[in-house]
Structure 1
Amino acid sequence: MDVFDRATEVEDAYREAAIAAQLAQAKRPNQASASHCEDCNVEIPEQRRVILPGVLLCVDCQSIHEQLGRK
C-alpha cells in the first residue's frame, strides 16, 4: 500500500465518522437539556446546553461514554 492509498483510507474514515456523528445528532430528541449531568449530577454549563440541545451529560462524563463506545 502506498502513501496515496493510506491517505484515501484515512480520508474515508474521517468522512464516515463525520457522517455518523451528524446522523446521531439528527436522531437526538428535541428535548430540553438537563441542568445537571445524569451520571455525576454536576451542573452542565449553560453554553453547553445551548449549543447541544437535549444534552444530558457533562463534558467529562460524555468523554468517558465515548471512550467506552457508548453514547
Structure 2
Amino acid sequence: MATGWAGDGAVQDQIDATIKDAIQRARSQLPQGPGRERCEECDAVIPEARRKAMPGVRLCVPCQEAHDQEQDAFAGYNRRGSKDSQLR
C-alpha cells in the first residue's frame, strides 16, 4: 500500500510520540520536594494520610480538585493535528 511521504511505521511513531509527551507532561505536574502541612491556597490543614499518600503535596483536596478542573479546560488538544486536517 502506498503511503506517500510517510515511511513504514510512521503512524505508530506518531502514536508513541504522543504517549511519550503525555507521560512527560503528567510527570512534570507531580508535586516535588517536601510537602506542606497547610494548603498554600486556603491555609486548611492537610491531613497526615494525604501527606503520606502524596509526597510533596501542596494543596488540600478541595483546592486540588479545583486546580485539576482548571487544568482539564486546557487539556485534550492534539498539537500534531488530526489526519483529516492534514489531508486538506
Please confirm whether the aligned pair reaches a TM-score higher than 0.5, indicating the same fold: yes
TM-score between the two structures when normalised by the length of structure 1 = 0.58
Q: When the two structures are aligned, how many residues end up with a matched partner?
A: 52
- Listed as ranges, the matches of 1:7-18 within 5 Å are none
Q: What secondary structure is seen at the aligned counterpart in 2 of 1:69? A: helix
Of 27-36 and 40-49, the range deviating more from structure 2: 27-36
Q: CA-atom RMSD, angstroms?
A: 2.6
Identity %: 43
After TM superposition, the runs of 4+ consecutive aligned structure 1 residues lying more than 6 A away are: none
Is it true that 1:55 corresponds to 2:57 in the alignment?
yes
User: Structure 2: how far apart are the matches of 1:51 and 1:39?
Assistant: 20
- Could you tell me which runs of 5 or more consecutive residues in structure 2 were left unpaired when the two chains were aligned: 1-18, 73-88
Bigger relative contact order, structure 1 or 2 (CA pairs below 8 A, ≥6 apart) = 1
Bigger radius of gyration, 1 or 2? 2
Is the helix fraction higher in 1 or 2?
1
Which whole-Å CA distance do the structure 1 matches of 2:55 and 2:37 have between them? 11
